[in-house]
Amino acid sequence: MLKIINGLEIKLLGDPHLGRKFVHGVSIDRKGDRERTQWSKFETSLFDCDIVDVHVCMGDIFDKAIIPAEVLFRTAQVYKMAAKMHPNVEYVLIRGNHDGFKDIDRISSFDILAELLASCDNISVYKDPELVEISGVHLGFCPWSPVVPASELMQKIKYPVACVFGHWDTISYGGSEHNLIPTAEMASLGITEAVTGHIHLPDTFERDGVTVTVTGSMVPYSHAEDPDAELYQTVTLEEYLRAPEGAYTAMCLRIDLQPGEKIDFAIDCLQLTTRRVDDDGAVEDIDVNFGDFDFEKLFVEAFQEEDVPTDIIEIIKHKYDEMRSEDA
């Protein structure tokens, strides 16, 4: 996503979640393909900056607070190479909720990344609110904090800025407003434009006189996050069988099975899940990978018993996974 602020061209990278493992519904011969697609998107975002003034990663560069060393090393190397290729581009990273621990004394992979990139003149990694002037334009950066509410963090941006960037919720969850985007505080500071990551579906809305741009994630991570079916597609078995060979090779495919239908042949796709549909067209069950934690299976089954729509279940499941990651 490209955004122009007072003539400044800013490229936005939403929630890469590097280090995420894709295992459910992935065949042995396609293992690692989804991760390679993810890396390709990430590297393209950083390297394709010839006409950009600023590149901002909107948080959740990593999927968890601690990720494998090879993921951390590769991330640092990509940033260093991109910064060297584009010395006139300011690269900025802000901390997201997946990047840190709730225990502020614990060192995360994001903290290590900040140290690895500290020697690069045109890379800035922010764990605390910062006011930055780039080519005469004042920008505010407000990373996620495990202990300080977003509304209090905003008060540290005292100088009026053209735009403020953060990693916020856009609605409160469970009554908590700890990470809710502080539009009222922004308005009191004369800020009229904000950009947030964290929410995986792109959006734009206005609140308290502040126009908020939601970047969405770098790539969708579920059917609910991909309304245009660019990566995740749902088809019937009949539609799949009628499609040209290789039509779904690069897709995360979900097949709705009618009563009596089954899949007893190999399907070439990035990821395969199935749903069982009854005679009335209602989804009876859904194949979802919840690891070995049986409570999660019961959690989803309870929603299904109450006829909660599948897309809503996936959104709630994603939010639940985020909360578990924060507690890790």
Q: What is the mean pLDDT of each run of 10 residues along the chain (328 residues)?
A: 94 97 90 94 97 97 96 98 97 96 92 97 96 94 95 88 96 85 93 95 95 96 91 94 94 93 91 85 53 51 64 66 52
Residue 51, both tokens: 């006409």
The amino acid present at 106, given as its one-letter code, is: R
pTM, entire model = 0.83
Q: What is the pLDDT of residue 160?
A: 82
The amino acid present at 69, given as its one-letter code, is: A
How many Å from the N-terminal Cα to the C-terminal Cα in the chain? 31
Q: Quote the CA–CA distance of 17 and 97 in Å, as a whole number.
A: 11
Query: Which domains does the chain carry?
Result: 2-214 (3.60.21.10), 223-327 (no CATH)
Q: Is the Cβ–Cβ distance between 200 and 216 less than 8 Å?
A: yes
At 92, phi and psi to the nearest 5? Answer: -125, 135
Q: What is the pLDDT of residue 289?
A: 44
Strand pairing of 137-142 and 130-134? Answer: antiparallel
Q: Is the Cβ–Cβ distance between 99 and 59 less than 8 Å?
A: yes
Kindly give, in sequence order, each residue whose CB lies less than 8 Å from that of residue 223, ignoring residues fewer than 6 positions away: 232, 234, 252, 254, 310, 311, 314
Question: Kind and range of the H or E element at 210?
Answer: strand 210-214
Q: Quote the CA–CA distance of 193 and 287 in Å, as a whole number.
A: 41
Total length of the chain: 328
Q: Is the Cβ–Cβ distance between 254 and 232 less than 8 Å?
A: yes
Exposed e or buried b for every residue in 112-147, given b needs 16+ CB within 10 A?
bbbebbeebebbbbbbebbebeeeebbbbbbbbbee
At 190, phi and psi to the nearest 5? Answer: 80, 15
Alpha-carbon distance values, 245 to 63, 198, 240, 242 (Å) = 34, 36, 9, 9
Residue in 118, 117, 112, 115 with CA at minimum distance from that of residue 100: 112
The angle formed by the CA atoms of residues 170, 171 and 173, to the nearest 5 degrees, is 130
Residue 208, both tokens: 């308290």
- Using DSSP, state whether 242 is helix, strand or coil: helix
* Residue 239 falls in which region: left (phi positive, over 0), alpha (psi -120 to 50) or beta: alpha
Residue in 7, 6, 18 with CA at minimum distance from that of residue 45: 18
Q: Is the Cβ–Cβ distance between 211 and 196 less than 8 Å?
A: no
